Amino acid sequence: MIYPAAGSMLYMLLELITAFLFGGLLLGLHRKIIARIQGRPGPPIVQHLIHTFKFYIKELTIPETSSMPLYVAIVLALSAVWVLAFLVGPVLLGPFSIIIMCYAVHKVSEHGIGLASGSPYTKMGSTRAVLSATAEMPLIVAPALVFFKTHTLVLSDIINYQILHGSLFMDLPLAAIATFILLLSKTPFNPFGIVWGKDIVSGYKTEHFGVIRGVMMFGEILGFFVLLWCFLTIFFGGIFNTPLTIMLTMIGVTIILGFICALTPMIAPYHSVMIQWIFALLALINVLFI
Amino acid sequence: MKIQKQTKNRILAVLTTLPILIGIILNTPLVISVAILTFFVPPSTYYLGLVLMALPKSKKEEDEREKITFTGY
Amino acid sequence: MNDILDLNSYIIGHVLFGDIVPYLTPFSLALVITIVVFTIFLALSKPELRSVTRFGEDVVRTTTVGKKEAKFRRFMTILCGVALIGVVTTGDIFNFTLFVSLVGITNVGIFAVVKDTHVLDAAFQYGLVMMICSLPLFGGVALILAKTGTLSLGVLAGIPGNPVLNVGRMLLLVGAVGEGALAPFFATKVEMIRAKGAPYINMMHLSSLMVFTRLIEILFIVG
Amino acid sequence: MALNDTVVPALVPQIFINFYPIAIVVAIVVAVIGFTGLVLEKNDFQKILIVQIPILAMYMIVSAVGTDLAEALILPGMVVSLAELLAVSEILISREITRREKEGEPLRVLNFEYEPINMEVLKTAIPVTCIVSVIYGVILTGFTGGAVAGAGILIYLFAGRTKGFSNEFWEEMAGISGVAWVFWLLGFLIYFIAPQYWLVALFMSGGGIIIKVALKLGLLGILGREEYNR
């Protein structure tokens, strides 16, 4: 059997598909755990993937009020951004700054998805997306601390540093917690998910059905996978640096996230922003004992 | 000449999938393959999905599709 | 260019232009492509029909942006995209500050013709914040210039950090955050995006996040 | 002071280096005054005016550096802050118009009429002031000289009585300013292509820029005259 060479396009494509399937299973597990904690049997673990594929054979309607071609393009941008982040991060171990950019563009896409349909619910969701852009604060703090500590932001160098000097979690625990909050705010049913809160129907996703929702879910699954991977690699790169250990820890972290999401209610918009700020400031305190 | 929507979607699906296939066959350099994957994976999934969606599945569904759907406010 | 290399692994290319060296790394290339693609799509899109409901009525009304208004705002959107490309490719902090101010001005321009008192009020407040923030923005750059005698990022990357540079960096951070309507100064932005015209509003959000992403890189490089 | 151990070129005299911390402190004081004013003021229009005080502090901080690079920075900084000012005041106007249209308040059209100030000095001293500033500008040469000479021409056109040259003459002058600009550019080109002729290049660019800047400022005066004093 011939394996595709690392760095060739086929290899990257296969990795992409693997990550998508694995991420989908993780999110399914996440749902299952929430259901079990709440005393329900819950959907099977493959449900999230089935859900994504189901949308591919459903009728696509584009609202007459929507602003074309932005309505379609912005969803494609959302998934393209996470494809790029996946290729630069887990596959090529490239510069971390590109992943920061991808996260930022993800925020822009959320905002654009909400605005483009013209519905008041999606508009509300996108307004909250702007409001919750304060979640970018841990995003500036965590890389800054990592950079001051390791003097590099290239992921392969960060991993090498951690293999030599031990995991960064020991040095930057508060920054790791802030990044964990960032990760939490990207999982479904999380306490900070004011953007897709059920009080505004489905937030910015309200008007998106059919194929376009499928593409959106594809992007979100990849995004969850990439963020989880980045969190583990940057703060625990010294311990978990083989594919198997990373996959096992990802399952572990997903279980923790499931517990948090199941046990906490949705927080009001301003409180959500405030709590994220508090964690970012906590991470700043970490500067004192670098 | 007015192209039918279904035909247009099929053409676009082929056009967006082709660069990926070409890239796999030609074994393109790293930066170019990253660019190709980033730019063409989401639209190809979108257009393939559109083609998949439009395939007739059963007579009943076909009849249902004839009805006027809700198109917005 | 050691800090730039630490951040980006390698430099694709640079234009030797005296003291100011515009350079292209994988990071800035990704930013440029993102901005170009977004600007093209945002400029091509037609504004959405905003549906509005009122209490006591069983009707959903739709409103949209007028043709003349849309034309001006589209122009400002494209201009904002061009300024953003300047922000992400320049290899000189002073050019960075100028382009950031330009982004702020075009952002105000996007909202200048909206016929809505709330939006205009918020835009006015944002304009005031923007003008105030030009003090820390240019002041920080001037401090860095006074300390190091250069503004080129390539040279600054090799100069080790010191307290005065840190003060300059902090001022630069405050200034750019204010000009781009970022985290602590973004209260007006939430109010401003109530306006109609999805593509144009989205450009504002894109611009502030792109400025933010580039700002992180610049803060790391200086000192 | 810590600010003094800067990496400034050896050519900068000690006195300027000693002035730097003082300039920064003054700028900070100015900024504090401006911010206090902004906090206390409630009127939006007044706020725009007061916001110019922190911007003034910004000019001070930049110009305190005092090298040629700082001189190159101050001009774009001014242009940017001017553009911001224009944009924000445009928003204010637009907001007021929208608000009044909504509330049904009639729009008062302000009628500015040009009234020349009647002072004897403005009639008698203008030609001499103009000639002196033009001569001084020629001695200074370069950009600054052009500005000084241009200011002289501006005074003549704005305040002086409309005698002597016709409108056509000033339009021809504008054409000459274009030609001078080309000289300036050619001078720079010679610097790059044939550095051994640097003296010619210096004269071309120096002379070109003074004529260009002086006549461009004069053009401003023509605009003013054509608008109000036709």
Per-residue pLDDT reduced to its tens digit, A66-81: 877 888 888 898 999 9
D130 contact partners, CB below 8 Å, separation of at least 6 = D152, D153, D155, D156, D160
pLDDT number for residue A270: 81
Structural domain of C81:
2-221
Instruction: Give the count of beta carbons closer than 10 Å to the beta carbon of residue A159.
Output: 16
Which range is most confident: C6-20, C186-200, D7-21, D151-165? C186-200
Task: Identify all chain B residues contacting C60, using CB atoms and an 8 Å cutoff.
Answer: 73
Of B31, B35, B73, the CB nearest to C51: B73
Question: What are the angstrom distances between the C-alpha of D72 and each of C87, C95, D17?
Answer: 19, 11, 19
CA distance linking residue D228 with residue D230, whole number of Å? 6
Q: What is the CA radius of gyration of chain B?
A: 17
Mean pLDDT, rounded, for C157-174: 82
| pLDDT tens per residue, range A220-277 | 899 999 999 988 888 888 787 788 888 899 999 999 999 998 888 888 888 888 888 8
Structural domain of B24:
5-66
pLDDT band at D195 (very low <50, low <70, confident <90, very high): confident
What is the four-CA torsion angle of C130, C136, C137, C138, rounded to 10 degrees?
A: 120
Of B33, B46, B49, the CB nearest to A9: B33
How far is the alpha carbon of D6 from chain C, nearest alpha carbon, in Å?
A: 5
* Cβ pair C217:A105 closer than 8 A: no
Domain count, chain B: 1
Domain count, chain C: 1
pLDDT number for residue D3: 43
Inter-chain Cβ pairs, chain A and chain C, closer than 8 A: 146
Comparing CA positions, the residue from A29, A59, A27, A60 lying closest to residue A217 is A27
Of C9, C25, C45, the CB nearest to A68: C45
∠ Cα A179 A182 A187 (to 5°): 130
A111-115, B64-68, C28-32, D141-145: which range is least confident on average?
B64-68
Average pLDDT of chain A to the nearest whole number = 84
Would the pLDDT of A42 be above 80?
yes
Mean pLDDT, rounded, for B49-58: 75
Q: Residue B49 falls within a domain, yes or no?
A: yes
Q: Residue B29 falls within a domain, yes or no?
A: yes
| pLDDT tens per residue, range B2-22 | 677 778 888 888 888 888 888
- The more confident residue out of C45 and D115 is C45
Would the pLDDT of A61 be above 70?
yes
Tell which of C120, C135, C137 to mutate to test the D interface (max D CBs under 10 Å).
Answer: C135
Average pLDDT of chain D to the nearest whole number = 76
Mean pLDDT, rounded, for D27-49: 88
pLDDT number for residue D74: 79
Q: Residue B61 falls within a domain, yes or no?
A: yes
pLDDT band at A128 (very low <50, low <70, confident <90, very high): confident
User: Helix H segments across chain C?
Assistant: 2-8, 26-44, 67-89, 93-112, 117-148, 153-156, 163-179, 187-192, 198-221
pLDDT band at D29 (very low <50, low <70, confident <90, very high): very high
C115 to chain D: nearest residue by CA? D98
| Buried/exposed C174-193: b ≥16 CB within 10 Å, e otherwise | bbbbbbbbbbebbebbbbbb
Percent of the residues in chain A that have a pLDDT greater than 90, as a whole number? 11
Whether the Cβ atoms of residue A227 and residue A183 lie closer than 8 Å to each other? yes
Residue D30's H or E segment, with its range, is helix D14-40
Q: Residue B11 falls within a domain, yes or no?
A: yes
Domains delineated in chain D: 2-103 (1.10.287), 120-228 (no CATH)
CA distance linking residue D53 with residue D2, whole number of Å? 27
At how many degrees (to 10) do helices A269-285 and A120-131 cross? Answer: 20
pLDDT number for residue A225: 92
Q: Write phi, then psi, for A95 (nearest 5 degrees).
A: -70, 135
Would the pLDDT of D227 be above 70?
no
Report residue A250 as tokens: 């990802």
| pLDDT tens per residue, range A132-146 | 776 667 777 788 888
- The more confident residue out of B58 and C76 is C76
CA distance linking residue A228 with residue A27, whole number of Å? 12
Would the pLDDT of C214 be above 60?
yes
Whether the Cβ atoms of residue C164 and residue C143 lie closer than 8 Å to each other? yes
pLDDT number for residue D4: 46
A157 contact partners, CB below 8 Å, separation of at least 6 = A150, C6
At least 3 CB pairs under 8 A between chains C and B: yes
Comparing CA positions, the residue from A235, A142, A122, A123 lying closest to residue A182 is A142
CA distance linking residue B21 with residue A162, whole number of Å? 38
pLDDT number for residue A25: 92
pLDDT band at C190 (very low <50, low <70, confident <90, very high): confident
Tell me the CA end-to-end span of chain A in Å, nearest whole number.
49
Would the pLDDT of B43 be above 50?
yes
For chain A, list the contacting chains (3+ Cβ pairs, <8 Å). B, C
* Cβ pair C146:D81 closer than 8 A: no
Q: What is the DSSP letter of C24?
A: E
Q: Show which residues on chain B lie within 8 Å of chain A, measured between beta carbons.
A: 20, 23-24, 27-28, 30, 33-34, 36-39, 41-43, 45-46, 49-50, 52-53, 57, 65, 69-73
